[in-house]
Amino acid sequence: MVIKHKGPSGKGLGALKGPRDQIRNFAIEYGLDFFDTVFEFLDYEEMSMVAAYGGFPNRYPHWKFGMEYERLRKSYKYGLHKIYEMVVNTDPCYAYLLESNNLVDQKIVMAHVFGHSDFFKNNTPFAHTNRKMMDTMANHANKVRKYMDKHGLEAVENFIDVCDTVDDQCLLVAKKNKGRWPKKFLPRGI
pLDDT tens for each residue of 15-53:
899 999 999 999 999 999 999 999 999 999 999 999 999
| Contact of 94 with 48, CB cutoff 8 Å | no
Q: CA 2 → CA 5, 42, 65, 86, 118, distances in Å?
A: 9, 10, 16, 16, 27
pLDDT-derived band of residue 178, with 50, 70 and 90 as boundaries?
low
C-alpha to C-alpha distances, 25 to 21, 32, 41, 61, 91, nearest whole angstrom: 6, 10, 21, 40, 19
DSSP one-letter code for 41: E
Distance CA 103, CA 16 (A): 8
Nearest 5°: phi and psi at 41? Answer: -110, 130
**Residue 183 predicted with pLDDT over 80:** no
Q: What is the mean pLDDT of the chain?
A: 86
pTM, whole model, 2 decimals? 0.77
Q: List the end-to-end C-alpha distance of the chain, in Å, as a whole number.
A: 43
Residue type at position 26 = F
Q: Which class for 68: exposed (0-12), middle (13-18), buried (19 or more C-beta within 10 A)?
A: middle
Q: Is residue 36 within 8 Å of 91, Cβ to Cβ? A: yes
CA distance 82 to 77: 9
